Amino acid sequence: MAEKIYRVNMTTLTVSAEDVPREWAALGGRGLTSTIVAKEVKPDCHPLGKYNKLVFAPGMLTGTACANSGRLSAGGKSPLTGTIKESNAGGSAAQCLARLGVKAIIIEGLPQKDSFYSLHVDKNGITIAEETELIGKGNYAVIKAVRKRRGDKVGVLSIGPAGEMKMALANISVRDPEGNMRSHGRGGMGALMGSKKIKYISIDDAGAPGVAIADPEKFKEASRVFAKCLLDHPVTGQGLKTYGTNILVNILHEAGGLPTQNFRTGRFDGHDKISGETMHDTIVERGGKPSHGCHAGCIIQCSQVYNNKKGAYLTSGFEYETIWGFGAGCCIDDLDAIAQADHMMDDIGIDTIESAVTVGVAMEAGIIAFGDGKGMLGLLKEIGKGSHLGRLLGAGAAALGKAYGLTRVPVVKGQGIPAYDPRSVKGMGITYATSTMGADHTAGYSTATNILKVGGFVDPLKKEGQVELSRNLQIATALIDSTGLCLFVAFAVLDKPEAFNAIVDMVNAKYGSSITGDDGIALGKSVLKLERAFNTEAGFTKTHDRLPEFFEELCPPHNVVWDFTNKEIDSFWDF
Amino acid sequence: MAEKIYRVNMTTLTVSAEDVPREWAALGGRGLTSTIVAKEVKPDCHPLGKYNKLVFAPGMLTGTACANSGRLSAGGKSPLTGTIKESNAGGSAAQCLARLGVKAIIIEGLPQKDSFYSLHVDKNGITIAEETELIGKGNYAVIKAVRKRRGDKVGVLSIGPAGEMKMALANISVRDPEGNMRSHGRGGMGALMGSKKIKYISIDDAGAPGVAIADPEKFKEASRVFAKCLLDHPVTGQGLKTYGTNILVNILHEAGGLPTQNFRTGRFDGHDKISGETMHDTIVERGGKPSHGCHAGCIIQCSQVYNNKKGAYLTSGFEYETIWGFGAGCCIDDLDAIAQADHMMDDIGIDTIESAVTVGVAMEAGIIAFGDGKGMLGLLKEIGKGSHLGRLLGAGAAALGKAYGLTRVPVVKGQGIPAYDPRSVKGMGITYATSTMGADHTAGYSTATNILKVGGFVDPLKKEGQVELSRNLQIATALIDSTGLCLFVAFAVLDKPEAFNAIVDMVNAKYGSSITGDDGIALGKSVLKLERAFNTEAGFTKTHDRLPEFFEELCPPHNVVWDFTNKEIDSFWDF
């Protein structure tokens, strides 16, 4: 069965299946969502209005046996930033969609009635049903109910109360194989799904045709090489499995790049209490799972299941950036409080990074004190309730900062800056400034080369080489985000040329094509450029490629400042 | 004594007096504030940070005997919109400053200490003092206290609690001759003054040298002609004096351009209860003053003193746009409730237009119901207290709309759209879209020609001629705002060429210059262009020159939509 583009019209409540246009045939993931958004969405439209579209697309390799290829891209105009947005997530939805031959789902229009709906995708296509029972419910309840309705293997994409309320920090949750959650976290895509009045999408791949592979033998061989590269690399084969991403707390603390107390310093006294090492021991002690994959076929296994003191499940997919944000960022040295926050945020359906940065700004505003873990949980509760305070917070860090007249508001293009201080991990600063989607560490993870010495070394405290580093990483990331591969494969790819070649070989084996590595790089470049072009039409200029003024302040312990000239930053786009 | 530029450095708490640079010598008001801001303020700076400046400048003719010449311009980068901003107001401050030889006051830097200050301007210069007693107090209390401290004739510029809290809808109040208030209303200039930590500025012109006139006889003659033009014109000589600006409620209702229920329709059933005619009768009945000038030398006398049911002072400077906003905009047909709101807003120190549009959006969000006058007063109280709800509202309509995920949010460049529906008074739509300062009716008051048939007639329901009309008016307005003349003189100027010539003659008589009318128009154009250039560097593009998407909806009773193409709008700047 040939792949199809499904178009869901929420105004007429109808679905159509279209053949895949030739120019989209070789695209997937971010490359496809950004292409569709750039072509079909009015760049100056209101993100929550009828002209915006929500596009889901599995990656080019998703649904195959390739390791770590189960990522799903969600695209649209961001309700948080107003830029183009692609947010990708693990979980089981992407693989179900790919096996069903769903190249992309394009959700458009707004319902005429004030009701919520659900979508169901299976081998017969997509159906729309009105939803009442689950409205107002958290994601855990939604996933549980949908499993009950549709069976235990069903993939689920859902929004919590925050998405229903169209809050700019709302995310889209994705069921993982065990029934917990991963997220399309950043950019407020949950608000976009909420504006379309879709509470959840269930995906049943029973009887699915599966993914066609033009040259199965060649694919198998390349896939084997690729998996071996991942397993052999110290970061993807060992580090991430043992400590998860949270291995970074101590590393960034040591490097002086762990943003502490709303970006006042680069080291946090309480780092030991929230570190990956402490977390690992705590998980083991309480009978949780220190390593765990977010989708079938993941061999990196950076996720984990974190139990509470009584040994019962508390949260999973508990990431460094979340722990940094509430830990160092908000000066809360209590891992259990942060785990509880992670559970609440998954349930309410809000991005943990934007939420953490927002709580840091709330502390800056004096709403609660730095270090107040109980107060922090109280704020998250308000977001879930949609109280006045919750609405203040739910619009994100930039909006909260404006409401309180603050200047120490760590955002770029309206999106909160994550867990790496741009003054002391300067390559990240270039990524935050220039990313087409606002401050986003995953857009070009210069930390790899600045701090982890993967793919060489560029001194994090010096300007030299950072623009080029971020540019190369952003181009490569745009490509990886298009393949459906987890971004963490980049650690192996940066150090092992054969890993990159294996990806190219798998793509060729799947599509019967003969692209080269250079073609892949060209694709990465073209994705960045079409995203940039959308943003230009949406009203963004180089003036938005800037970090907040307060990064002129010294960041201890290295006492460095953000010292790039505008010209240096703007040279990022010279390609 | 030669005019001076005073520079107040709030970081070092020092003041310097500088000679006026030659290129600024012939400038005043908006022409001067915008020139200084464009030259000295980093366009991409944070509006509340150390790089922004607050500039006050009396107009070119201010302090002379010219009728209606007592306007003061306040300039800076707007905390509400992020654009360049000039807001001008009546009151007695401008004339005091002009007579003291103060060409402009440039306030720069941020205090190092967390204290508030006051400035005092007199014949010896400017002094800075720490202020504690009046912090947290409303503007009425501030003005009363400053009169007590400095004497009954002193000019006062002050901020209320909203400005202290750096709320984006905070204004700067100006004492009028009777001790009540006028406002630098729009653009959040009160937040900028609050960021500089200046609670008030007092101005004592005792012993002032006065304004030098190069050719007193010529000035006197031109001034006489000008005054006669004002008195002879039906709008400036009669209409405004009798009913104030609120004469417009019934006129706009009739025209179908009175935005009602957050811009759902163009007519308001309760128009009679809030009209200028009703207001006039109520004022007379209660022993108020139906006409009143906001500064010495005003012969238009559009202001008034509105008493409560017991005959005691309630408010003054009670304008059409305020009454429209809370009346038709929020469906509150209770003039006393709106007058009470006006009093509260003056005291808290917030822009009445932005506040009204914000309350309309709060009603849209369901925080209170349309028509709920008591609820509306409650919301204003929350703003004054700075509660969570108050902070939500205090950031303005755009921010509130984002927090509630709304699309019906009537703003351009983040500033609330005032009292003339752009669909049925299309010339105003062009002004809202293209103004360098966000939606602002005073930037190019096309209502004059669309509705009042002053300066000819351009059909308000048709696109033809609107771009040219708005362009001509915006150019003329930039000139008038530079002279220190009240914008209402434009009614006479549009109909009587001799009024315009008299203005040119007065400028020449004052400065000993020989400029022509064309030079004046050229000045207006250059002011607009330098403001636009600042905005471009601040990150604004033609994409920001757009009205919200929801104006595609039909506006009853004429069932018209906003139908300008982007190209048509952008042609505004072809000069």
- Spatial separation of the C-alpha atoms in residues A564 and A113, rounded to whole Å: 51
B209 lies in some domain: no
- Picking from B402, B413, B551, B569 by the largest number of A CB atoms within 10 A of its own CB, the best residue to mutate is B402
Would you give the DSSP letter of residue A265? B
H helices present in A386-455, as ranges:
388-394, 397-403, 426-434, 447-450
Burial of B463 (0-12, 13-18, 19+ CB in 10 A): middle
- Do B323 and B451 sit in the same domain of this protein? no
pLDDT (tens place) for every residue of chain B, 575 residues total = 589 999 999 999 999 999 999 999 999 999 999 999 999 999 999 999 999 999 999 999 999 999 999 999 999 999 999 999 999 999 999 999 999 999 999 999 999 999 999 999 999 999 999 999 999 999 999 999 999 999 999 999 999 999 999 999 999 999 998 889 999 999 999 999 999 999 999 999 999 999 999 999 999 999 999 999 999 999 999 889 999 999 999 999 999 999 999 999 999 999 999 999 999 999 999 999 988 888 889 999 999 999 999 999 999 999 999 999 999 999 999 999 999 999 999 999 999 999 999 999 999 999 999 999 999 999 999 999 999 999 999 999 999 999 999 999 999 999 999 999 999 999 999 999 999 999 999 999 999 999 999 999 999 999 999 999 999 999 999 999 999 999 999 999 999 999 999 999 999 999 999 999 999 999 999 999 999 999 999 999 999 999 999 999 999 999 999 999 999 999 999 99
Tell me the shortest Cα–Cα distance from A407 to chain B, in angstroms. Answer: 6
B168 vs A402: CB contact, 8 Å cut-off? Answer: yes
Residues B515 and B477 both lie in one domain: yes
pLDDT confidence of residue B246 = 94
pLDDT confidence of residue B2: 84
Query: Do the chains contact at B406 and A48, CB–CB below 8 Å?
Result: yes
Indicate the SS3 state at residue B515.
coil
Any residues with CB less than 8 A from the CB of A117 and at least 6 apart, and which?
A: A10, A13, A111, A128, A129, A130, A131, A197, A198, A199
The CA distance from B279 to A2, in Å, is 72
Which of A165, A548, A549 shows the shortest C-beta gap to B405? A165
How much is the pLDDT for B96?
A: 97
Nearest to B352 by CA among B339, B362, B365, B364: B339
CA angle B96, B60, B80 (to 5 degrees): 80
A28-43 CB burial, b ≥16 within 10 A, e <16: bbbbbbbbbbbeebeb
Based on the domain organization, do A283 and A366 belong to the same domain? yes
| Backbone dihedral angles phi then psi of residue B36, each to the nearest 5 degrees | -65, -45
| Domain limit, last residue, from B148, B175, B203 | B203
- A253-297 pLDDT, tens per residue? 999 999 999 999 999 999 999 999 999 999 999 999 988 888 889
d(CA B98, CA A349): 58
Whether residues B315 and B398 share a domain: the answer is: yes
Mean pLDDT for the stretch of residues A375-401: 98
Q: How many distinct structural domains can be found in chain B? A: 3
Residue A176 has pLDDT above 80, yes or no: yes
A-B CB pairs within 8 A amount to 100
In a domain, A208, yes or no: no
Report chain B residues touching chain A, CB-CB < 8 A. 43-46, 48-51, 79, 165-168, 191, 194-195, 367, 387-389, 391-392, 394-395, 399, 402-407, 536-541, 543-544, 546, 548-550
Query: Are B379 and B459 in a shared domain?
Result: no
Confidence of residue A510 (pLDDT cuts 50, 70, 90): very high
With a CB cutoff of 8 Å and minimum separation 6, the contacts of B508 are B215, B218, B514, B515
Chain A residues closer than 8 Å to B388 by CB: 367, 387-389, 392
Nearest to B397 by CA among B330, B340, B344, B342: B330
Q: Is A174 helix (H, G, I), strand (E, B) or coil?
A: strand
Phi first, then psi: what are they for B506, rounded to 5°? -65, -40
Mean pLDDT of A479-504: 95
Contact B392, A390 (CB under 8 A): no
Cβ distance B540 to A537 less than 8 Å, yes or no, reads: no
- Domain of B506: which CATH number? 1.10.599.10
Contacts of A408 (CB under 8 A, 6+ apart): A262, A263, A361, A364, A401, A548, A550
Q: Are B414 and B378 in contact (CB under 8 A)?
A: no
- Helix (H/G/I), strand (E/B), else coil: A383: helix
* CB-based contact A191 B405, cutoff 8 Å: yes
B539–A538: do the CB atoms touch at under 8 Å?
A: no
**Residue B208 within any structural domain of the chain:** no
The answer to whether residues A411 and A430 belong to one domain is no
Residue A210 domain flag: no
Alpha-carbon distance B279 to B323, whole Å?
A: 10
Å between B163 CA and nearest CA of chain A? 10
Beta bridge mates, A319: none
Question: Contacts of residue A548 in chain B, CB cutoff 8 Å?
Answer: 46
For residue A558, pLDDT beyond 90: yes
Using CB atoms within 10 Å of the CB of residue A569, give its burial: 0 to 12 exposed, 13 to 18 middle, 19+ buried.
buried
| One-letter identity of residue A454 | V
Give me the pLDDT at residue B196, please: 98
Which residues in chain B have their CB less than 8 angstroms from residue A49's CB? 407, 549-550
> From residue B314, how far is each of A288, B16, B339, B378, B466 by CA, in Å?
67, 41, 7, 18, 39
Average pLDDT over residues A396-418: 98
Measure CB to CB from residue B394 to each of A394, A403, A538 and give the nearest one: A403
Residue B513 CB coordination number (10 Å): 13
> Is A209 a member of any domain?
no
Chain B hits for A41, Cβ within 8 Å: none
Residues of chain B in contact with residue A159, where contact means CB-CB under 8 angstroms, are none
Tell whether B549 is covered by a domain. Answer: yes
Kindly determine whether residue B405 and residue A44, on different chains, have CB atoms separated by under 8 Å: no
CATH number of the domain enclosing B53:
3.60.9.10
Report how far apart the first and last C-alpha atoms of chain B are (Å, whole number): 39
Domain that includes residue B384, residue range: 244-421
CA distance B489 to chain A (A): 36
Residue with tokens 């230009």: A536
Q: How many Å lie between the alpha carbon of A82 and the closest alpha carbon of chain B?
A: 11
| Neighbour-count burial of A357, counting CB atoms closer than 10 A to its CB (0-12 exposed, 13-18 middle, 19+ buried) | buried
Q: Residue B405: what pLDDT?
A: 98
B432 and B391 co-located in one domain: no
Asked whether residue B336 falls in the same domain as residue B237, the answer is no
Cα-based angle B420, B426, B432 (whole degrees, multiple of 5): 65
Cα–Cα distance measured from residue A171 to residue A345, given in angstroms and rounded to the nearest whole number: 9
pLDDT in tens, A55-74: 999 999 999 999 999 999 99
Chain A interface residues facing chain B, Cβ-Cβ under 8 Å?
43-46, 48-51, 79, 165-168, 191, 194-195, 367, 387-389, 391-392, 394-395, 399, 402-407, 536-541, 543-544, 546, 548-550
Chain B hits for A544, Cβ within 8 Å: 539
Both tokens of A476, joined, read 């490569």
Residues β-bridged to residue B55: B75, B106
Average pLDDT over residues A337-350: 98
Q: Is the pLDDT of residue A1 over 80?
A: no
- pLDDT value at position B516? 96
B540/A539 Cβ within 8 A: yes
Evaluate whether residue B556 is within a structural domain: yes
B389, B402, B406 ranked by CB distance to A399: nearest? B402
Contact B46 A167 (CB under 8 A): no
B422/B314 Cα distance (integer angstroms) = 32
With beta carbons under 8 A apart, name residues in chain B contacting A407.
46, 48-49
- List CB contacts (< 8 A) between A387 and chain B: 388
Note the pLDDT tens digit of each residue in A448-489. Answer: 999 999 999 999 999 999 999 999 999 999 999 999 999 999
Report the run of H or E that residue B479 belongs to, with start and end.
helix B466-483
Cα B546 to chain centroid distance, Å, stands at: 22
Q: Which of B177, B203, B229 is the last residue of a domain?
A: B203
The answer to whether position A94 is within a domain reads: yes
Element (H, E) at B112: none
Residues of chain B positioned with their CB less than 8 A from the CB of A45: 549
Nearest chain A alpha carbon to B362: A388
Proportion of chain B in helix, strand, coil states, percent, rounded to 5: 45, 15, 40
CA distance B88 to B86: 6
CATH code where residue A306 lies: 1.10.569.10
Same domain, A414 and A504: no
Same structural domain, B436 and B391: no
pLDDT per residue over A333-342, tens digit each? 999 999 999 9
- B404 and B486 inside one domain: no
Which residue in the set B51, B403, B549 is minimally distant from A391, CB to CB? B403
Indicate if the pLDDT at residue A389 is higher than 70.
yes
Residues A417 and A430 occupy one common structural domain: no
Task: Give the nearest partner residue to A405 out of B44, B166, B407, using CB atoms.
Answer: B166
Position B1 scores a pLDDT of 58
| Chain A nearest-CA residue for B388 | A389
Residues of chain A with C-beta less than 8 angstroms from the C-beta of B45? 549
Residues 6+ positions from A355 with CB-CB distance below 8 Å: A169, A325, A341, A345, A380, A383, A393
Q: Which of A84, A350, A402, A409 to mutate to test the interface with B (most CBs of B within 10 A)?
A: A402
Closest by Cα among B131, B10, B30, B112 to B76: B30
* pLDDT of B179: 87
Domain edge (last residue) among B390, B421, B452: B421
